[in-house]
Amino acid sequence: MENSTVSYRVSDGVGTITLNRPDVMNAIDADTHLALQHALKRADHDPEARVIVLTGEGRAFCAGGDIKGMQGKTAFGDPSRVLSVGRDLIDLLVRTETPLIAKVNGSAIGLGATIALYCDVVCMDEEARIGDRHVNVGLVAGDGGAAIWPLLVGPAKAKEMLMTGRLISGKEAETMGLIAYALPGKELDSKVQEIADELKALPPYAVKATRASVNKLIQEATSSVLDLSLAYEHLSMKTNDHQEAVSAFIEKRPGNYHGY
């Protein structure tokens, strides 16, 4: 399966999903959001794929939401839906049975960080940056960040990172316990292959069921937060501060915020 924004390939038991918008650092727009969901479903039901690797084309893993595409918009996806389309992607990442390895080859920001952190094993270029900068564009960290960060690093550190929008290196993320491995970029492919080889050599049902068992905890924690945080995020999309933050980002200037 392949389209203009997401590709899927399988080789020797490893399915690779690649975000393919390198000109915008693999930012997620509405079409890419849906294409990624389709790719995850395809890979999870592919009998040839014992492991799924998720990565980005070019110099970034995923820069998160397409900020320029937010200008003038007050909603993401279909505004007639009660439950946000953002929930669909997070549900898939949690409920997919095939083990997921995130190969974070470059920046993973906002939704990009969330996508990586919901994978089972995160391998990251030690010089790449990761963080959730929703607040920096006047948005609530609603698309899963408010759920997964506290699970990985605890509520106190998660609140600091999410409320400031601070970016950290892969090395800092490993030290913090946010990711599994940070290593030089030239070693990233071999480390991902090593883990994939180890996983695909094991009895697949046992691996999948173990993933599903642990992810039950993640699913319950996510469900307790996600609908509320997504609702808050949609409300924040309607604020003047959000539009000012988007304009400030595009115009490369400080924002002028008033709290509404």
User: Which pLDDT score, from 0 to 100, does residue 74 have?
Assistant: 60
Measure CA of the first residue to CA of the last residue in the chain; give whole Å: 43
Q: Using the CB atoms, write b or e for 38-50: b if 16+ within 10 Å.
A: ebbebbbeeeebb
Residue 195 inside a domain? The answer is no
Residue 192: inside a domain, yes or no? no
CATH code for the domain of 142? 3.90.226.10
Domain of 133 in residue numbering reads as 1-186+202-259
Give the total number of structural domains in the chain. 1
User: What would the pLDDT profile of 204-243 be if each residue is shown by its tens digit?
Assistant: 999 999 999 999 999 999 999 999 999 999 999 999 999 9
The reply to whether 57 falls in a domain is: yes
100 within some domain: yes
Within a domain: 193: no
Give the C-alpha separation, 236 to 243, whole Å: 10
Lowest mean pLDDT among 2-6, 164-168, 185-189, 224-228: 2-6
pLDDT band at 83 (very low <50, low <70, confident <90, very high): low
- Report yes or no on 235 lying in a domain: yes
Residue 60, domain member (yes or no): yes
Q: Is residue 96 part of a domain?
A: yes
* pTM of the model as a whole: 0.93
User: Which residues are CB-contacts of 69 (< 8 A; sequence separation ≥ 6)?
Assistant: 27, 29
Tokens at residue 260, please? 């509404």
- Distances 65 to 30, 133, 142, 256 between C-alpha atoms, Å: 9, 10, 12, 22
